[in-house]
Chain A
C-alpha cells in the first residue's frame, strides 16, 4: 500500500471519528424534541411480527400519515404507554391480529371516555363481546395511525359505515336523504343538512333496531311538523305513529311485515330473551310441530307457555307494521311519494299483512324472529294472543263475515217468515 493512501485513510477515519459524535448529538437532540422519530427509526421499516395463529402483523408505520393525524400531538407513547416501561421489542406473544385490536380498544377510552361509554352500549361492542370477528372496534372505523378529525368531514361515500354496510349505503345514497346530501348537502330552507348514518343511528351508541320505536323520535327531531301534519288527516295518528314505522309509508317500494314482539305490558318494554337460543328453538319446535310457522292455535299455545313460564299474563304480543329488510328501510322517498292511501293496508289480503313474524329481543337488542302464518292476524283464536294488533278491514276476523251474512239473511228472513206464517194461519182460520 502506498504511504499516501494510508495517510488519506487515517485522516478520513480521524475526521469521521471527530464528526460522528456531533451527528449523533444532533440526532439525539431531534429525538428529544420529537421522540416519535425514535420509534419511526425502526417502524418506518417493513417490520412484522409473527402471530400465534401463524399470521403476520405488520409493524410498519407511515410516518407522514401519522404526522398528519390528529394523534401526532400525543405521539406514539400517548397510546403505547407501556412501551418505554418494558423491554422493547417485546417478546410477548400475540394470539391474533383481532385479539390485539380488541385489547388495544380500551386504550382509546382513556382520552375518549364519553365516546367509549357510548360505544360499550352499542350493538357493535355487544357483538365484539360475543366474539364476532366482523364487529368493529375503534380502529376499524377510525384507523390506527392515520386518524383524522371527523369534524367537517363529508362522508358521502358512506365511510366508514359502508365498509361493512355497503348494501345499506347504496340504498341510502339513492334515498331522498342521500340525494339531498350529495346534490348540495342542503334541504328545505337550505339551513338543514340532510342526515347521514350517524345523524339517525348516532356515531358510537349504535343500537340494534329490535325496538325501532326509538327511530320515530329521531325522525321527528328534524321533521318537527310531521306529528301535526299526520294528525290533520290520518285517523288515529298517534296510534299509527306508534305501531307503524315511518319507512312503511315513506319507503313505498319496501316489503313489509307485521312483527309480533313479546312485550311486557306492565313495564312497557320489550321482553329480553333469558333462555339460550337452543332452549327457545326447543320451545318453538314443541309448539310448531309441523315446522311451517306458527298458526293461530300454535301461537295461542306458545302464549300459554309464556304465561306459565312468566307466571303472569303481563307478557303479551305487541304488533308493529315494519319494513322487512334493513336495506329497504333506507330507501326513503320524498314525502310527495309516500303512501297516503288507507286502502293499502285496510283491505282484505293487503300486501302489508302477508308476512308475519313473532320475535323476542336478544340481550344485545337484536331480534330473534320466528315465522308465523298470516292467519294469526285474522283468526278468532288470536283475539287474545294477538290482542294488541288490529287493522280494520285488513286483519278482519273472517268468522264475523259469516255472522254478518247470517244477520243480513235472517234479519229480513225472520219478518218474512213471520208474515208468511201469519198468512197461512189466517187462511187456515178462515177455512175453519
Chain B
C-alpha cells in the first residue's frame, strides 16, 4: 500500500497538506493558552500578595474568577466539539496497552536521542491520529482529569457556601484548595515544557504555524 506522500511524489503533484487542527480547536487552544497564563498570573498574585502587588487582592479575585469561567466555558466548547466531530479519535485510548507503551518508549527515546542524530520520527502525524503516544497520554490526563479537577476545585472555592456539601464530602475547603494549588503548580511547569515541545518539530516554528493555520507544515 502506498502512502499519500509516495503517491504525490509519484504523480509529481504538490503534496496535499493534512488539515490537522480545525478552527474550533485552534480557537479553543489559543483562548485556553491565554486563559491559563492569566489564571496563573492572578493565582500567583492571590497567593503572594505579600511579595508583590500587580493588582489588589480583591481585583485579582474578580479577574481570576471571570477568566476561570471563560476557561471552563472554553473547555465545554472543546468537549462538545470533540464529541460532535471526528476530533475525539485523537484522544481514543489504545486498547493494546503493551504496544502503546512500546511506542511510548520509542517516542521518548526519539526525544532523548534520535531526534538529535537524524532518526526518522516514530509517529506519523495524521488527522484523527495527530498525537504521538507521549502527547496522547499527556493530553488525555490534562483534558479529562487535570483541567476538570482544576475547574471543579476552583468552582468550589468561588462560592464556598453554594458548594458546601460537595466541599464537605471531599474533606473540606483546605483539601479543595490543596488540590487546586497542586494542579496550578503542575500547570506552571507544563506551560514551559509545552511551549518548548512545540518547538521540537522539523523546524522550531513548524508546530506553532500549524496551530495558527490548521494545516500540517511541510516536514522536509
Contact = CB atoms under 8 A, between A and B. Distances in A.
B115 A422 contact: yes
A419 B112 CA distance: 10
Given A390-B177, A393-B46, 17 more contacts: A235-B62, A236-B158, A236-B161, A265-B168, A342-B56, A343-B56, A347-B50, A382-B174, A383-B178, A387-B171, A407-B188, A407-B189, A410-B189, A412-B192, A415-B193, A419-B196, A429-B118
A50 interface: no
A397 B161 contact: no
B106 to A, nearest CB: 17
Interface string A396-413: 110010011001101110
Interface in A244-287: 265
Contacts of A235: 58, 61-62, 65
Contacts of B185: 400, 403-404, 407
Contacts of A343: 49-50, 56-57
Interface in B110-160: 111-113, 115-118, 157-160
B186 interface: yes
B196 A407 contact: no
B171 A384 contact: yes
Contact of A407 (B62, B178, B186): B186
B16 interface: no
Interface in B40-64: 44, 46-50, 56-58, 61-62
8 contacts: A233-B58, A383-B174, A388-B168, A400-B185, A403-B182, A404-B184, A404-B188, A414-B193
A37 to B, nearest CB: 65
Interface in A219-251: 233, 235-236, 238-239, 242
Interface residues of B, number: 46
A117 B98 CA distance: 76
Contacts of B190: 411
Contact of B188 (A236, A408, A429): A408
Contact of B182 (A242, A400, A412): A400
A410 B189 CA distance: 7
Interface SS of chain B: helix
B192 A414 contact: yes
A426 interface: yes
A238 B186 CA distance: 31
The list of the 9 closest CB pairs from A to B, nearest first, reads A387-B172, A411-B192, A415-B196, A238-B161, A347-B50, A239-B160, A425-B116, A342-B57, A407-B189
Interface string A355-396: 000000000000000000000000010111011111011001
Contacts of A408: 188
Interface of B: 44, 46-50, 56-58, 61-62, 65, 111-113, 115-118, 157-162, 168, 171-175, 177-178, 181-182, 184-186, 188-193, 195-196
A390 B193 CA distance: 31
Contact of A397 (B111, B160, B181): B181
Contact of A386 (B116, B174, B191): B174
B36 to A, nearest CB: 13
Contacts of B186: 407
A239 B157 CA distance: 10
Interface string A312-350: 000010000000000000000000000000110011110
A359 to B, nearest CB: 18
Contacts of B61: 235, 342
Contacts of A410: 189
Contacts of A400: 178, 181-182, 185
Contacts of A348: 48, 50
A399 B175 CA distance: 14
Given A392-B47, A392-B177, A393-B47, A346 B57 contact: yes
Nearest to A382: B174
B46 A411 contact: no
B189 A389 contact: no
B57 A393 contact: yes
Nearest to A429: B117
Contacts of B157: 236, 392
